[in-house]
Chains A and B, each alone.
Chain A
Amino acid sequence: DIQMTQSPSTLSASVGDRVTITCRASQGSFTWLAWYQQKPGKAPKLLIYEASNLQSGVSSRFSGSGSGTDFTLTIDSLQPDDVGTYYCQHYNSYSWAFGQGTKLEIK
């Protein structure tokens, strides 16, 4: 099975910063990757699908890139409401695999 590894595990940044979260797959070559934001006690929220497509209604400050085994989520001009945990997720016809999550905090 494909394993997804995110880095860093925790991230502290200031309002207005640009932050980057990376996600690496253990094998394969694909663009079947999504990014979700989760706030405490809430359901995940889809941000990006197919590695680089912005979900409708999501701020354009969020962007995704990558293909193959290495992927990146970038948040421009960090806002206080961006705090939460971010997960990458690989999907195919047979299985899903989540990264372990990156907890984003505001300094």
Chain B
Amino acid sequence: EVELVQSGAEVKKPGESLKISCKGSGYNFTSDWITWVRQMPGQGLQWMGTIDPSDSYTNYSPSFQGHVTMSVDKSINTAYLHWSSLKASDTAIYFCGKLSGGYSSSWADYWGQGTRVTVSS
């Protein structure tokens, strides 16, 4: 059974760093791209970027380029989303998704449960 399990909720202060994770199981982790999506409180879904776990090639949304970093650790089937300096506006739920079919121009057929990030002084 394909499953994406994300790390737990985080409460941070502005300026702090944070790395959240998304662990895949039940499939060949390096075969399918991973995407990250943000959902701010009461708002819709925003695409942040995608990463190819086989070679860590990344594609960022211009809205998030330079503010977050996507990475993977193939040895433990885990994708990460990292902030070096959080802002209050980063408060949101973050979802990871697995793209179908092994290519980047695809849809997400499985999703993690979401990680709630709260940034407040």
Contacts and interface: CB of A to CB of B under 8 A. Distances in A.
Interface residues of B, number: 24
Nearest to B103: A93
Interface string B67-110: 00000000000000000000000000001010010011111110
**A interface, size bucket:** 20 to 34
Nearest to A53: B107
Contact of A46 (B37, B105, B108, B112): B108
Given A49-B100, A101-B44, A94 B59 contact: yes
A89 interface: yes
A67 interface: no
Given A46-B107, A91-B106, A93-B104, A101 B45 contact: yes
B111 A44 contact: yes
B95 A43 contact: yes
B106 A44 contact: no
Interface in B39-85: 44-47, 50, 59, 61-62
B21 interface: no
Nearest to B45: A98
B107 A34 contact: yes
Given A34-B107, A44-B45, A100-B44, 20 more contacts: A32-B105, A42-B114, A43-B95, A43-B114, A46-B107, A49-B107, A49-B109, A50-B107, A55-B109, A87-B44, A91-B105, A91-B107, A93-B104, A93-B105, A94-B104, A95-B59, A96-B50, A98-B45, A99-B44, A101-B44
Interface of B: 35, 37, 44-47, 50, 59, 61-62, 95, 97, 100, 103-109, 111-114
